[in-house]
Structure 1
Amino acid sequence: MLLADIIGNSIGGLGIVIGILLYYRNKKEKKPVYQLQTINLLDDNISSINGVAISFQENKISSLSLSVLTFKNKGRQSIRRSDILKENPLRVILSQNCEILDYKLSSISSSDICVQMQLSENRRMLMIAFNYLEKDGEFTINIFHTGSADNDISLKCKILDAPKIRRLKDMQVDNTEGSNFLRLLLIVLFVHVIVIGTVALRGCCCSDVYDIKPAADSLPSLDMHYDCLLKNNS
Protein backbone atom coordinates (compact mmCIF):
# COMPACT_ATOMS: atom_id res chain seq x y z
CA MET A 1 0.00 0.00 0.00
CA LEU A 2 2.93 2.30 0.75
CA LEU A 3 4.37 1.79 -2.74
CA ALA A 4 1.04 2.63 -4.36
CA ASP A 5 0.77 5.82 -2.29
CA ILE A 6 4.27 6.92 -3.28
CA ILE A 7 3.61 6.30 -6.96
CA GLY A 8 0.29 8.16 -6.76
CA ASN A 9 1.86 11.15 -5.03
CA SER A 10 4.71 11.20 -7.56
CA ILE A 11 2.28 11.23 -10.49
CA GLY A 12 0.28 14.02 -8.84
CA GLY A 13 3.45 16.06 -8.25
CA LEU A 14 4.53 15.53 -11.85
CA GLY A 15 1.18 16.83 -13.04
CA ILE A 16 1.57 19.97 -10.95
CA VAL A 17 5.10 20.61 -12.26
CA ILE A 18 4.04 20.13 -15.88
CA GLY A 19 1.06 22.42 -15.31
CA ILE A 20 3.31 25.18 -13.98
CA LEU A 21 5.73 24.78 -16.90
CA LEU A 22 2.90 24.93 -19.43
CA TYR A 23 1.50 28.05 -17.75
CA TYR A 24 4.77 29.95 -18.14
CA ARG A 25 5.26 28.50 -21.62
CA ASN A 26 1.87 29.77 -22.82
CA LYS A 27 1.82 32.99 -20.79
CA LYS A 28 0.78 35.99 -22.89
CA GLU A 29 3.34 38.77 -22.87
CA LYS A 30 5.06 41.22 -25.20
CA LYS A 31 8.60 40.35 -26.26
CA PRO A 32 10.15 43.02 -28.49
CA VAL A 33 13.38 41.92 -30.15
CA TYR A 34 15.49 43.13 -33.04
CA GLN A 35 18.11 41.82 -35.40
CA LEU A 36 20.90 43.97 -36.80
CA GLN A 37 23.53 43.29 -39.42
CA THR A 38 25.86 45.95 -40.79
CA ILE A 39 27.78 45.64 -44.05
CA ASN A 40 30.57 48.11 -44.71
CA LEU A 41 30.38 49.24 -48.35
CA LEU A 42 33.06 51.92 -48.34
CA ASP A 43 35.94 52.60 -45.97
CA ASP A 44 38.87 55.00 -45.70
CA ASN A 45 41.13 52.79 -47.81
CA ILE A 46 38.92 53.14 -50.90
CA SER A 47 38.21 56.82 -50.43
CA SER A 48 41.93 57.59 -50.14
CA ILE A 49 42.64 56.41 -53.70
CA ASN A 50 43.75 59.28 -55.93
CA GLY A 51 41.04 60.44 -58.30
CA VAL A 52 38.24 58.72 -56.36
CA ALA A 53 35.77 60.93 -54.54
CA ILE A 54 32.54 59.72 -52.92
CA SER A 55 29.97 62.34 -52.03
CA PHE A 56 26.41 62.60 -50.78
CA GLN A 57 24.44 65.70 -51.67
CA GLU A 58 27.71 67.41 -52.64
CA ASN A 59 29.29 66.48 -49.31
CA LYS A 60 32.29 64.16 -49.36
CA ILE A 61 31.99 60.99 -47.27
CA SER A 62 34.77 58.59 -46.29
CA SER A 63 32.63 55.70 -45.04
CA LEU A 64 29.40 54.08 -46.19
CA SER A 65 27.58 51.14 -44.58
CA LEU A 66 24.28 49.34 -44.93
CA SER A 67 22.52 48.24 -41.73
CA VAL A 68 19.65 45.77 -42.04
CA LEU A 69 17.37 46.23 -39.03
CA THR A 70 14.48 43.86 -38.26
CA PHE A 71 12.05 44.63 -35.44
CA LYS A 72 9.92 41.73 -34.25
CA ASN A 73 7.43 40.71 -31.54
CA LYS A 74 8.27 37.24 -30.19
CA GLY A 75 5.59 37.37 -27.49
CA ARG A 76 2.02 36.04 -27.55
CA GLN A 77 0.54 39.47 -26.80
CA SER A 78 0.33 42.14 -29.50
CA ILE A 79 2.37 45.34 -29.30
CA ARG A 80 0.23 48.35 -30.20
CA ARG A 81 1.10 51.93 -31.00
CA SER A 82 -0.49 53.05 -27.72
CA ASP A 83 1.88 50.75 -25.78
CA ILE A 84 4.90 52.84 -26.78
CA LEU A 85 5.67 55.79 -24.54
CA LYS A 86 5.60 59.12 -26.35
CA GLU A 87 8.55 60.30 -24.25
CA ASN A 88 10.60 57.26 -25.33
CA PRO A 89 9.45 56.26 -28.84
CA LEU A 90 10.92 53.63 -31.14
CA ARG A 91 13.94 55.16 -32.84
CA VAL A 92 17.30 54.38 -34.43
CA ILE A 93 20.20 56.46 -33.12
CA LEU A 94 23.64 56.78 -34.70
CA SER A 95 26.84 57.53 -32.83
CA GLN A 96 28.61 60.87 -32.95
CA ASN A 97 30.03 61.97 -36.32
CA CYS A 98 27.75 59.52 -38.18
CA GLU A 99 24.77 60.35 -40.36
CA ILE A 100 21.88 58.49 -41.95
CA LEU A 101 22.04 59.01 -45.69
CA ASP A 102 19.01 57.05 -46.79
CA TYR A 103 16.48 54.50 -45.51
CA LYS A 104 13.65 52.39 -46.84
CA LEU A 105 11.25 49.70 -45.73
CA SER A 106 12.61 46.43 -47.08
CA SER A 107 9.97 43.90 -45.96
CA ILE A 108 6.92 43.64 -43.73
CA SER A 109 4.95 40.63 -42.50
CA SER A 110 1.57 42.36 -42.92
CA SER A 111 0.45 45.57 -44.59
CA ASP A 112 -1.76 46.27 -41.56
CA ILE A 113 1.37 47.04 -39.53
CA CYS A 114 1.64 50.31 -41.47
CA VAL A 115 5.21 51.41 -40.68
CA GLN A 116 5.98 55.14 -40.70
CA MET A 117 9.45 56.71 -40.50
CA GLN A 118 10.84 60.22 -40.09
CA LEU A 119 14.45 61.41 -40.15
CA SER A 120 15.68 64.08 -37.74
CA GLU A 121 17.24 67.30 -38.99
CA ASN A 122 20.74 66.33 -37.86
CA ARG A 123 20.32 62.97 -39.67
CA ARG A 124 21.42 61.03 -36.58
CA MET A 125 18.01 59.72 -35.54
CA LEU A 126 15.27 57.84 -37.41
CA MET A 127 11.83 57.85 -35.76
CA ILE A 128 9.72 54.71 -36.36
CA ALA A 129 6.01 54.15 -35.71
CA PHE A 130 3.59 51.32 -36.53
CA ASN A 131 0.00 50.29 -35.82
CA TYR A 132 0.60 46.96 -34.07
CA LEU A 133 2.68 43.80 -34.12
CA GLU A 134 1.08 40.43 -33.41
CA LYS A 135 3.06 37.31 -32.46
CA ASP A 136 5.99 36.90 -34.89
CA GLY A 137 4.96 40.08 -36.68
CA GLU A 138 7.98 41.95 -38.03
CA PHE A 139 9.32 44.55 -40.43
CA THR A 140 12.78 45.18 -41.87
CA ILE A 141 14.41 48.53 -42.66
CA ASN A 142 17.53 49.11 -44.76
CA ILE A 143 19.55 52.05 -43.43
CA PHE A 144 22.48 53.59 -45.33
CA HIS A 145 24.77 55.60 -43.08
CA THR A 146 28.34 56.80 -42.63
CA GLY A 147 29.15 54.45 -39.75
CA SER A 148 31.29 51.35 -40.12
CA ALA A 149 29.98 48.74 -37.66
CA ASP A 150 27.02 47.59 -35.57
CA ASN A 151 28.35 49.65 -32.66
CA ASP A 152 27.56 52.85 -34.57
CA ILE A 153 23.81 52.17 -34.54
CA SER A 154 21.40 51.45 -31.70
CA LEU A 155 17.67 50.96 -31.19
CA LYS A 156 15.83 52.69 -28.33
CA CYS A 157 12.26 52.37 -27.09
CA LYS A 158 10.09 51.87 -24.01
CA ILE A 159 7.05 49.61 -24.33
CA LEU A 160 4.53 49.37 -21.50
CA ASP A 161 4.35 46.02 -19.69
CA ALA A 162 7.21 44.64 -21.78
CA PRO A 163 10.86 43.84 -21.06
CA LYS A 164 13.71 45.84 -22.53
CA ILE A 165 14.21 45.35 -26.25
CA ARG A 166 16.61 42.45 -26.73
CA ARG A 167 18.89 41.93 -29.70
CA LEU A 168 19.04 38.62 -31.56
CA LYS A 169 22.61 38.40 -32.78
CA ASP A 170 23.87 37.18 -36.15
CA MET A 171 20.40 37.29 -37.74
CA GLN A 172 19.55 33.86 -36.34
CA VAL A 173 16.09 32.72 -35.34
CA ASP A 174 15.71 32.72 -31.57
CA ASN A 175 14.61 29.25 -30.42
CA THR A 176 16.16 29.50 -26.97
CA GLU A 177 12.88 29.67 -25.10
CA GLY A 178 11.38 26.61 -26.79
CA SER A 179 14.59 24.62 -26.40
CA ASN A 180 14.90 25.47 -22.72
CA PHE A 181 11.28 24.51 -22.08
CA LEU A 182 11.67 21.15 -23.82
CA ARG A 183 14.96 20.49 -22.01
CA LEU A 184 13.42 21.29 -18.62
CA LEU A 185 10.39 19.10 -19.34
CA LEU A 186 12.62 16.16 -20.30
CA ILE A 187 14.67 16.58 -17.11
CA VAL A 188 11.51 16.53 -14.99
CA LEU A 189 10.25 13.40 -16.74
CA PHE A 190 13.64 11.70 -16.39
CA VAL A 191 13.85 12.45 -12.66
CA HIS A 192 10.29 11.24 -12.20
CA VAL A 193 11.05 7.94 -13.92
CA ILE A 194 14.19 7.45 -11.79
CA VAL A 195 12.26 8.09 -8.56
CA ILE A 196 9.41 5.73 -9.50
CA GLY A 197 11.85 3.04 -10.61
CA THR A 198 13.89 3.31 -7.42
CA VAL A 199 10.81 3.11 -5.21
CA ALA A 200 9.42 0.15 -7.14
CA LEU A 201 12.76 -1.69 -6.97
CA ARG A 202 12.99 -1.21 -3.23
CA GLY A 203 9.44 -2.48 -2.82
CA CYS A 204 10.25 -5.66 -4.75
CA CYS A 205 13.42 -6.27 -2.74
CA CYS A 206 11.55 -5.89 0.53
CA SER A 207 8.85 -8.34 -0.56
CA ASP A 208 11.48 -11.04 -1.23
CA VAL A 209 12.78 -11.05 2.34
CA TYR A 210 11.14 -13.85 4.27
CA ASP A 211 11.38 -14.92 7.92
CA ILE A 212 12.87 -18.40 7.78
CA LYS A 213 12.58 -18.97 11.51
CA PRO A 214 10.50 -22.12 11.92
CA ALA A 215 7.38 -22.08 14.01
CA ALA A 216 7.63 -23.41 17.54
CA ASP A 217 4.94 -26.06 17.03
CA SER A 218 6.76 -27.52 14.01
CA LEU A 219 9.82 -28.58 16.04
CA PRO A 220 9.79 -32.09 17.60
CA SER A 221 9.69 -32.07 21.38
CA LEU A 222 12.45 -33.54 23.58
CA ASP A 223 9.96 -36.03 25.04
CA MET A 224 9.35 -37.59 21.64
CA HIS A 225 13.10 -38.05 21.08
CA TYR A 226 13.49 -39.61 24.53
CA ASP A 227 10.66 -42.15 23.91
CA CYS A 228 12.21 -43.15 20.60
CA LEU A 229 15.58 -43.81 22.23
CA LEU A 230 14.00 -46.01 24.93
CA LYS A 231 12.17 -48.15 22.36
CA ASN A 232 15.31 -48.70 20.32
CA ASN A 233 17.38 -49.72 23.36
CA SER A 234 14.75 -52.19 24.51
Structure 2
Amino acid sequence: MRFFKQCITVVFLVFGLLVGAQQITLNACNSLLDSQDYIFEQISLVDERNVFQTVSDPSMGSRDCSGIGFCKIRIAWNDSNMRWEILADDGNDGFTSTYVLYYNDSASQPNPPDLTLGTWQEATTITQSICGTINDLTGAVQSSILGVDGVDLNQQFSVYPNPVKDKLYLESNSNNSNNSDYLVSLYDILGKRIYKGKNSEIIDVSQLRRGVYFLKIEIEDTVLKKKVLVQ
Protein backbone atom coordinates (compact mmCIF):
# COMPACT_ATOMS: atom_id res chain seq x y z
CA MET A 1 0.00 0.00 0.00
CA ARG A 2 2.84 2.37 0.85
CA PHE A 3 4.42 1.71 -2.56
CA PHE A 4 1.07 2.37 -4.27
CA LYS A 5 0.67 5.68 -2.42
CA GLN A 6 4.23 6.67 -3.34
CA CYS A 7 3.50 5.93 -7.00
CA ILE A 8 0.32 8.02 -6.88
CA THR A 9 2.27 10.88 -5.28
CA VAL A 10 4.93 10.75 -7.99
CA VAL A 11 2.29 10.73 -10.73
CA PHE A 12 0.59 13.81 -9.30
CA LEU A 13 3.92 15.61 -8.90
CA VAL A 14 4.86 14.91 -12.51
CA PHE A 15 1.40 15.89 -13.68
CA GLY A 16 1.66 19.14 -11.73
CA LEU A 17 4.99 19.93 -13.32
CA LEU A 18 3.63 19.26 -16.79
CA VAL A 19 0.56 21.39 -16.19
CA GLY A 20 2.68 24.26 -14.85
CA ALA A 21 5.27 24.05 -17.62
CA GLN A 22 5.49 27.01 -19.95
CA GLN A 23 4.68 26.12 -23.53
CA ILE A 24 4.68 27.91 -26.89
CA THR A 25 2.89 26.86 -30.07
CA LEU A 26 4.40 27.82 -33.44
CA ASN A 27 3.15 27.42 -36.99
CA ALA A 28 5.49 28.97 -39.56
CA CYS A 29 7.68 28.39 -42.61
CA ASN A 30 5.40 25.70 -43.98
CA SER A 31 7.62 25.20 -47.04
CA LEU A 32 10.35 23.79 -44.77
CA LEU A 33 8.48 22.69 -41.65
CA ASP A 34 5.22 21.55 -43.28
CA SER A 35 1.77 22.86 -42.30
CA GLN A 36 1.76 21.72 -38.70
CA ASP A 37 1.94 23.12 -35.20
CA TYR A 38 5.09 22.73 -33.12
CA ILE A 39 4.92 22.67 -29.32
CA PHE A 40 7.82 24.13 -27.32
CA GLU A 41 8.65 23.76 -23.63
CA GLN A 42 11.05 25.78 -21.52
CA ILE A 43 14.35 23.89 -21.26
CA SER A 44 16.63 26.40 -19.53
CA LEU A 45 17.11 29.96 -18.31
CA VAL A 46 20.05 31.96 -19.71
CA ASP A 47 20.77 35.52 -18.54
CA GLU A 48 17.24 35.87 -17.13
CA ARG A 49 15.61 34.77 -20.41
CA ASN A 50 13.96 31.42 -21.01
CA VAL A 51 15.07 29.06 -23.77
CA PHE A 52 12.29 27.07 -25.44
CA GLN A 53 12.69 23.92 -27.52
CA THR A 54 10.30 21.57 -29.28
CA VAL A 55 9.36 18.58 -27.16
CA SER A 56 10.59 15.15 -28.18
CA ASP A 57 7.11 13.70 -28.76
CA PRO A 58 6.70 13.62 -32.57
CA SER A 59 2.97 14.23 -32.28
CA MET A 60 3.58 17.52 -30.46
CA GLY A 61 7.03 18.86 -31.24
CA SER A 62 10.13 17.52 -32.99
CA ARG A 63 9.23 15.39 -36.02
CA ASP A 64 10.16 14.53 -39.55
CA CYS A 65 9.47 17.34 -42.01
CA SER A 66 9.95 17.44 -45.74
CA GLY A 67 12.10 20.56 -46.00
CA ILE A 68 15.08 19.86 -43.74
CA GLY A 69 14.75 16.27 -42.54
CA PHE A 70 14.17 15.90 -38.80
CA CYS A 71 12.82 19.14 -37.34
CA LYS A 72 13.84 20.25 -33.87
CA ILE A 73 13.35 23.97 -33.26
CA ARG A 74 14.58 26.33 -30.55
CA ILE A 75 13.55 29.84 -29.48
CA ALA A 76 16.28 31.71 -27.63
CA TRP A 77 17.70 35.17 -26.99
CA ASN A 78 20.97 35.95 -28.82
CA ASP A 79 22.77 38.42 -26.58
CA SER A 80 25.45 39.23 -29.17
CA ASN A 81 22.89 40.26 -31.80
CA MET A 82 20.48 41.52 -29.12
CA ARG A 83 17.46 39.73 -30.52
CA TRP A 84 15.21 36.72 -30.10
CA GLU A 85 15.77 33.99 -32.68
CA ILE A 86 13.81 30.98 -33.93
CA LEU A 87 16.43 28.38 -34.82
CA ALA A 88 16.12 25.19 -36.84
CA ASP A 89 18.35 22.26 -35.98
CA ASP A 90 21.07 20.89 -38.23
CA GLY A 91 18.78 18.15 -39.58
CA ASN A 92 20.33 15.52 -37.34
CA ASP A 93 18.43 16.16 -34.11
CA GLY A 94 21.04 18.59 -32.82
CA PHE A 95 22.10 22.25 -32.69
CA THR A 96 25.81 21.90 -33.36
CA SER A 97 25.34 23.63 -36.70
CA THR A 98 22.05 25.49 -36.74
CA TYR A 99 20.53 28.40 -38.63
CA VAL A 100 18.09 31.23 -38.00
CA LEU A 101 14.58 31.13 -39.47
CA TYR A 102 13.15 34.28 -37.83
CA TYR A 103 14.34 37.01 -35.46
CA ASN A 104 12.82 39.83 -33.40
CA ASP A 105 14.90 42.52 -31.65
CA SER A 106 12.22 43.42 -29.08
CA ALA A 107 14.03 42.88 -25.77
CA SER A 108 11.18 41.14 -23.93
CA GLN A 109 12.04 39.30 -20.74
CA PRO A 110 11.84 36.52 -19.65
CA ASN A 111 9.89 35.13 -22.63
CA PRO A 112 9.97 35.88 -26.38
CA PRO A 113 7.66 38.47 -27.98
CA ASP A 114 4.35 37.53 -29.54
CA LEU A 115 3.25 38.61 -33.02
CA THR A 116 2.14 42.04 -31.76
CA LEU A 117 5.40 43.09 -30.07
CA GLY A 118 7.96 44.33 -32.58
CA THR A 119 8.25 42.37 -35.80
CA TRP A 120 9.32 38.78 -36.34
CA GLN A 121 11.42 39.04 -39.48
CA GLU A 122 12.36 36.20 -41.76
CA ALA A 123 16.12 35.62 -42.01
CA THR A 124 16.00 35.76 -45.79
CA THR A 125 19.76 35.31 -46.27
CA ILE A 126 19.28 31.83 -44.78
CA THR A 127 15.78 30.90 -45.93
CA GLN A 128 16.03 32.49 -49.40
CA SER A 129 12.62 34.11 -48.72
CA ILE A 130 10.73 30.82 -48.88
CA CYS A 131 9.33 30.95 -45.34
CA GLY A 132 7.09 34.01 -45.34
CA THR A 133 5.48 35.39 -42.18
CA ILE A 134 4.74 33.43 -39.03
CA ASN A 135 1.22 32.02 -39.08
CA ASP A 136 0.78 31.43 -35.35
CA LEU A 137 2.81 32.08 -32.21
CA THR A 138 0.92 31.65 -28.94
CA GLY A 139 1.36 30.50 -25.37
CA ALA A 140 4.17 31.77 -23.13
CA VAL A 141 4.96 34.79 -25.30
CA GLN A 142 4.78 38.46 -24.30
CA SER A 143 2.99 41.47 -25.74
CA SER A 144 5.06 43.96 -23.73
CA ILE A 145 8.70 44.42 -22.75
CA LEU A 146 9.54 43.55 -19.15
CA GLY A 147 12.72 43.43 -17.10
CA VAL A 148 15.83 45.60 -16.99
CA ASP A 149 16.65 44.96 -20.65
CA GLY A 150 13.26 46.42 -21.49
CA VAL A 151 13.95 49.82 -19.91
CA ASP A 152 13.48 52.49 -22.54
CA LEU A 153 16.90 53.89 -23.36
CA ASN A 154 15.30 57.23 -24.20
CA GLN A 155 14.26 57.58 -20.54
CA GLN A 156 17.92 57.47 -19.54
CA PHE A 157 19.82 58.92 -22.51
CA SER A 158 19.21 60.94 -25.62
CA VAL A 159 20.89 59.27 -28.60
CA TYR A 160 20.99 61.33 -31.79
CA PRO A 161 20.91 61.63 -34.72
CA ASN A 162 19.43 58.30 -35.78
CA PRO A 163 19.92 57.54 -38.66
CA VAL A 164 23.47 58.85 -38.37
CA LYS A 165 26.21 59.57 -40.91
CA ASP A 166 29.22 60.92 -39.00
CA LYS A 167 28.94 61.26 -35.23
CA LEU A 168 26.49 59.69 -32.80
CA TYR A 169 25.84 61.75 -29.66
CA LEU A 170 24.87 60.37 -26.24
CA GLU A 171 23.45 62.84 -23.75
CA SER A 172 22.53 61.79 -20.21
CA ASN A 173 19.03 62.85 -19.15
CA SER A 174 18.08 64.30 -15.78
CA ASN A 175 17.19 60.92 -14.27
CA ASN A 176 20.87 60.00 -14.50
CA SER A 177 21.82 63.06 -12.46
CA ASN A 178 23.72 60.93 -9.94
CA ASN A 179 26.56 60.88 -12.48
CA SER A 180 26.96 57.11 -12.40
CA ASP A 181 29.65 55.75 -14.68
CA TYR A 182 28.40 53.84 -17.69
CA LEU A 183 29.94 51.58 -20.32
CA VAL A 184 29.07 52.07 -23.99
CA SER A 185 29.44 49.37 -26.67
CA LEU A 186 28.50 49.30 -30.34
CA TYR A 187 27.98 45.99 -32.16
CA ASP A 188 27.53 45.15 -35.82
CA ILE A 189 24.73 42.89 -37.00
CA LEU A 190 26.96 39.81 -36.64
CA GLY A 191 27.46 40.54 -32.96
CA LYS A 192 31.05 41.80 -33.23
CA ARG A 193 31.84 44.65 -30.87
CA ILE A 194 33.35 47.49 -32.87
CA TYR A 195 33.41 50.18 -30.18
CA LYS A 196 33.83 50.22 -26.42
CA GLY A 197 34.14 53.25 -24.18
CA LYS A 198 33.44 54.55 -20.68
CA ASN A 199 31.13 57.54 -20.22
CA SER A 200 31.24 58.16 -23.96
CA GLU A 201 29.37 61.19 -25.28
CA ILE A 202 30.38 60.97 -28.96
CA ILE A 203 30.94 57.92 -31.19
CA ASP A 204 32.52 58.44 -34.60
CA VAL A 205 30.73 56.19 -37.10
CA SER A 206 31.99 57.88 -40.26
CA GLN A 207 34.21 54.90 -41.16
CA LEU A 208 31.51 52.27 -40.66
CA ARG A 209 29.64 50.60 -43.47
CA ARG A 210 26.02 51.50 -43.97
CA GLY A 211 23.60 49.29 -42.12
CA VAL A 212 22.09 48.38 -38.76
CA TYR A 213 24.16 48.48 -35.57
CA PHE A 214 23.28 47.90 -31.93
CA LEU A 215 24.13 50.33 -29.14
CA LYS A 216 24.46 48.91 -25.63
CA ILE A 217 24.78 51.03 -22.49
CA GLU A 218 25.50 49.38 -19.15
CA ILE A 219 24.83 51.57 -16.12
CA GLU A 220 24.90 50.06 -12.62
CA ASP A 221 22.62 46.98 -12.82
CA THR A 222 20.72 48.12 -15.91
CA VAL A 223 21.40 47.27 -19.56
CA LEU A 224 20.02 49.69 -22.14
CA LYS A 225 19.89 48.82 -25.83
CA LYS A 226 18.98 50.63 -29.03
CA LYS A 227 19.13 49.93 -32.76
CA VAL A 228 21.18 52.50 -34.72
CA LEU A 229 21.08 52.97 -38.49
CA VAL A 230 24.30 54.19 -40.09
CA GLN A 231 23.82 55.83 -43.48
TM class by shorter chain equals under 0.3
Bigger fraction of residues in strand: 2
Instruction: Report which of the two structures shows the higher radius of gyration computed on alpha carbons.
Output: 1
| Higher RCO (C-alpha 8 Å, min separation 6) | 1
Bigger fraction of residues in helix: 1
